[in-house]
Structure 1
Amino acid sequence: MDYIGPLQQFKQRALATPQQPYLHQPVDGNWKVYSWGEVDDLARRVASGLQAMGLEQGDRVALLAKNSAEWLIADIGIAMAGMISVPIYATAGANTISYVLEHSDSKALFVGKLDSQSALAAANIDVPTIGFPYAGIEATLSWNAWLAEQTPIEVTADPGLDDAFTIVYTSGSTGKPKGVVLTSRNLAAASNDVVAWLPEGHNRIVSYLPLAHITERSMVTMNSFYSSIEIFYNDSLDTFVDDLRHANPTAFISVPRLWAKFQSKVLDQIPDKKLQRLLSMPFVGKRVAKKIRRQLGFEDCEFFGSGSAPISPELLRWFHRLGVNIAEGWGMSETSGASCTNQPFKASQLGTIGTACKSVELKTSASGELLIRGPSVFKEYYKNPQATAEAFEGDWFKTGDKAVQRSDGAWVIVGRVKEQFKTAKGKYVAPVPIESLLGSNSFIEQSCVLGSGLPQPVALVVTNAGSSVSRDELNQSLAATLESVNAQLESHQRLSNIVVCEEPWTIENDMLTPTLKLKRDRIEARYRQLIENEVAYSGNKPSGNTSVQFDNKIGWITS
């Protein structure tokens, strides 16, 4: 298929609809709206400014900032100058920032709002920095003043389809981040697949997931070039609900943890038993569901998606009863984003990742590993030919996910190849399917199943139960879930205990990646010895400030 590259597609749309609103940026309680023509003009100024700094075509330019209109304008400007963008997570620590800048050979850095400026200050940065126009940002150059000095370039670069467009660094859940080189063809192919899922006509979408992650970059930014989409940016966590209602999106993409928080927000207002009773009433149920969707900001939303990590089928069914039909998708940085999804939506395929996008092929290896090939599959790992060679089996990319295909064609991810562990009984266990079953309990917000060398697996969980829920009530709920989950498992997979960790797992305490994936090795390292002591010496509590105390199969870890 002949594709149009992202930059060429952006330029075509800007030329065709220069006055049409495109980007909506919250600034000091108000909304600044950029048209396609204004974005084009500013991006051309960015390109001019980078060239004036002595940068050349093919040079790498990094972006370190939370989502904003300026982020996208800089990204387009980098491409217009014939350079390659290198996004860095706004939550990255000093070591990661330094590593990515050095490994990518970046020649300049755009800086915007961050959770903390301390990581940036501690990082080893010896390249020019351009600061976006927000308070507290220290940089060599100021965005507004810098752009005002530039004359928009008239002739932009014209990258070929097989030229590198961006280098996306993996989140580093198992080691040093790898630089995934994505070409214009990769991104164009992925976007052409995905825009077919969106509602017909003009769409509105909220950009709040990290733009350094391929899901947001592909599903929001790139798709806006290939479809009629207005992008609304989120100012902060405190304003998220208000920003969502202001945007009134027609398409909304999130991750499992945030979908669970949406559910908790609803259940804080109405108990689930009462809600389900109301939803079962023919006329009342529709009104209740519509009211809840409106309160969440989904009044006009027609497309819902979830990705980045497995989501509980029970959570999907819960939202389905509200008329929120979440299409679970699957993809990787190496596949330019979503490559498989339950779209068009089928309720019968809830709990699966649906079927392959039209441009890709999927199959499994003899060991059950999911393999993929197609025009959206990445070019190479930057400066790592050995890792690139090891990632392929012929022309098939080895995803590292274990999967099975159902008789209806839908695919189910059953775990990561490297995440399987062997119990003391010599049996292999895949944790992800068990964690998915645990998600049926609405109190469980996070879960991590471990058990290498243990007689039976153990589940560590973080709950969202507030102070209104007693420990006895929570214990009873978790005990019922433990019994229900174990009834669905083979004997060697059954959980011996559920252990409640009272401290949430976050990016800040290094238990989650910037994309909210579990850092299993960190979680296990933190709690493993406590679990082993409790299992080996039942009743003899380990010493220290933190301890596990089992009570009818439910344990608690407190700091």
Structure 2
Amino acid sequence: MKRQFKSMVENFCHWETHTPDSIFLKQPHGTEFRDFSYQEAGQQIRKMAQWLLSQNLPPRSNIGILSKNCAHWIMTDLAISMAGHVSVPFYPTLTDEQLRQVLVHSDCQVLFVGKLDAWESMKGGIPTSIRCVSYPSYYEGAPSEFENWESITKITHPLASFALASYEEVSSIVYTSGTTGVPKGVMLTHQGLISALEHTREVGLLDTSNARFFSYLPLCHIAERTLVESAGIASGGTIYFAESLDTFASNLQTANPTHFLAVPRIWTKFQLGILSKLPQSKLDLLLKIPIVKSIIRNKVKKGLGLAKAELILTGAAPMPSSLLEWFHKLDIQIREAYGMTENMGVATIMPPKYKKGTVGKPHNGVTIKIDPNTQELLMKAPWNTVGYYKEPIMTQELFKDGWLATGDMASIDEEGYISIIGRVKDMFKSAKGEYIVPTPIEGMLAVNPIIEQVCVVGTGLPQPIALVVLSEIGKNTEETQLREVFREMIKRVNPHFKNYEHLRKIVVVKEAWSVENNMLTPTLKIKRNVIEKHYHGQLEKWFESPEEIVFEN
């Protein structure tokens, strides 16, 4: 008989009792790993929960976490829940102004501060009224000026028992990454998580023994929170972490996860890394030789650290079909998952029968329909958010007669597969008065390995133009050849769209878009409005240029 899932902290306590010596968290530190068994992590969690209770905070206070992914991030999350409070994680890449905005809006009472890259430039955003606790000093970038986790747990007795008030209570407030506008605090409940776990236990392989997860995408993002932290704890698995960008590849190889999630940009980087060692023409040739084909596939999977992966997912942004199929040829069966913070990232998943151009079918428990007027995807599920924190008007706008309005335009085919057309808010109007959806155009351009990033713009222009950032392969290609490739791309892409959607230009921009220059969200999605604003003064000049392919000066 299968074990009934409960809240995240109760799921943890099950394994703390039944498999106390199993490794729960593996934190890299140089060439070594600091291992936390379920029992040892439990002691740390219970001590910090006891300390939080000793602070006499109001019941169900909002407690913040500001850190890159690490073992203490997850222990903090569980301690907050065990103490009966609400966890509120923040992106570790926020500026001081952005941090202050969400700290104040969330009514944060205590803030746990850990592994960070830019603490000195962030700390000015923390109001003096908020009490801070820092993670152990072996985390690079952890501040030293606050009470320390280790000093607190040395003198605090572990909490013996606890009880959640109600599964209907809010367990966490997750702030959206803010592709447009101010981030919103999405309220998620214990019951929502339980329902999501129960409805996805088969497809998520949550009953797999010795499951291993690799945590590197921001834990404050719903995909990592649900598919790594929650699923890892529910399955009684081991969660490995990446120490840094430099050690990412070796950390992933060591983890050799059974469950792995990556966003499209990561898959693109994996592809470019493979092609830099094995050019496409040679790869195609080797994959035609039966004996060699198997060797190549195994070597690539082992090199990436995915030799033992049973569930490989992509999400958070659209994945080009050609990229999925490229990996399928290497026997890396990536399954696209679609969701958003407001539905815990759990809406659809690609079934074993892959269908090009779709994001699969709805999960069990999900009901979907399309708004006939706007083509917006509407959904119902028992794990949908109960609303936005302190934003009743936005909460009201989020639901249409009880249906969650996703903001995504979509279609459903006769087999029940969902295709995402683009964001309702991403549509822009050309000078001809026609509405253009940029996402499908971007998807067709992004398949070429010379392109690292692409954003189709054109508000007020007669025709859209594509802004592109070159990949390393593109940067190493002669300009004459690049121009020819881009001209061919325009000829290939335009016939798939209506005349008013045809690309007039491709503009190669100099600066790569990143989280640091505010062009990307922390989950590596483009901030379309920021990019358009940045290049606004040049768009008309580029459009009027006699050249079809323009290079930014």
What TM-score do the two structures reach when normalised by structure 1?
Answer: 0.94
1:556 equivalent in alignment to 2:551:
yes
C-alpha displacement at 1:17, in angstroms? 1.1
Write the mapping of 1:210-229 to structure 2, written as runs, cut at 5 A.
210-229=218-237
Counterpart pick for 1:327 among 311, 329, 335: 335
Report the more deviating stretch, 161-170 or 3-12.
Answer: 3-12
- Residues 278-300 of structure 1, C-alpha deviation per residue, up to 9 Å, x if partnerless? 11222221211111111111111
Counterpart pick for 1:391 among 392, 398, 422: 398
SS of residue paired to 2:346: strand
Please tell me the residue identity of whatever aligns with 1:515: T
> Given that residues 62 and 106 in structure 2 are in contact (C-alpha distance below 8 angstroms), is that contact kept between their aligned partners in structure 1?
yes
The CA distance in 2 between the partners of 1:229 and 1:363, in whole Å, is: 36
Counterpart pick for 1:369 among 372, 376, 379: 376
Please tell me the residue identity of whatever aligns with 1:393: K
Partner of 2:421: 414
Partner of 2:37: 35
The CA distance in 2 between the partners of 1:172 and 1:440, in whole Å, is: 26
Partner of 2:93: 91
- Closer, same or farther: CA 485–159 of 1 in aligned 2, 3 Å: farther
SS of residue paired to 1:197: coil
Counterpart pick for 1:426 among 425, 433, 448: 433
The CA distance in 2 between the partners of 1:264 and 1:534, in whole Å, is: 29
Write the mapping of 1:106-505 to structure 2, written as runs, cut at 5 A.
106-126=108-128, 127-133=130-136, 134-136=139-141, 137-199=143-205, 200-343=208-351, 345-347=352-354, 349-366=355-372, 367-466=374-473, 467-505=475-513
C-alpha displacement at 1:3, in angstroms? 6.0
Please tell me the residue identity of whatever aligns with 1:556: F
> Given that residues 129 and 139 in structure 1 are in contact (C-alpha distance below 8 angstroms), is that contact kept between their aligned partners in structure 2?
no
The CA distance in 2 between the partners of 1:14 and 1:123, in whole Å, is: 37
Report the more deviating stretch, 62-71 or 119-128.
Answer: 119-128
SS of residue paired to 2:46: helix
Q: Equivalent pairs: percent with the same residue?
A: 37
SS of residue paired to 1:337: coil
> Given that residues 85 and 166 in structure 1 are in contact (C-alpha distance below 8 angstroms), is that contact kept between their aligned partners in structure 2?
yes
SS of residue paired to 1:231: strand
The CA distance in 1 between the partners of 2:450 and 2:367, in whole Å, is: 38
What TM-score do the two structures reach when normalised by structure 2?
Answer: 0.95
Q: Which runs of 5+ in 2 are unaligned?
A: none
Moved over 6 A (4+): none
- Closer, same or farther: CA 421–125 of 1 in aligned 2, 3 Å: same
C-alpha displacement at 1:485, in angstroms? 0.8
- Closer, same or farther: CA 220–295 of 1 in aligned 2, 3 Å: same
SS of residue paired to 1:185: helix
- Residues 350-372 of structure 1, C-alpha deviation per residue, up to 9 Å, x if partnerless? 33110111021111112210001
Q: How many residues align?
A: 542
> Given that residues 112 and 131 in structure 1 are in contact (C-alpha distance below 8 angstroms), is that contact kept between their aligned partners in structure 2?
yes
- Residues 362-385 of structure 1, C-alpha deviation per residue, up to 9 Å, x if partnerless? 111122100011111001110111
The CA distance in 2 between the partners of 1:92 and 1:258, in whole Å, is: 21
Counterpart pick for 2:26 among 24, 40, 46: 24
The CA distance in 2 between the partners of 1:46 and 1:351, in whole Å, is: 47
SS of residue paired to 2:415: coil
Q: Which runs of 5+ in 1 are unaligned?
A: 540-549
The CA distance in 1 between the partners of 2:438 and 2:259, in whole Å, is: 31
Partner of 1:547: none
SS of residue paired to 1:460: strand
- Residues 22-68 of structure 1, C-alpha deviation per residue, up to 9 Å, x if partnerless? 11001232101111111111111111111222224200100000000
> Given that residues 305 and 326 in structure 1 are in contact (C-alpha distance below 8 angstroms), is that contact kept between their aligned partners in structure 2?
yes
Report the more deviating stretch, 465-474 or 447-456.
Answer: 465-474
SS of residue paired to 1:409: coil
C-alpha displacement at 1:529, in angstroms? 2.2
Please tell me the residue identity of whatever aligns with 1:122: G
Partner of 2:82: 80
Partner of 1:545: none
The CA distance in 1 between the partners of 2:443 and 2:353, in whole Å, is: 19
> Given that residues 21 and 34 in structure 1 are in contact (C-alpha distance below 8 angstroms), is that contact kept between their aligned partners in structure 2?
yes
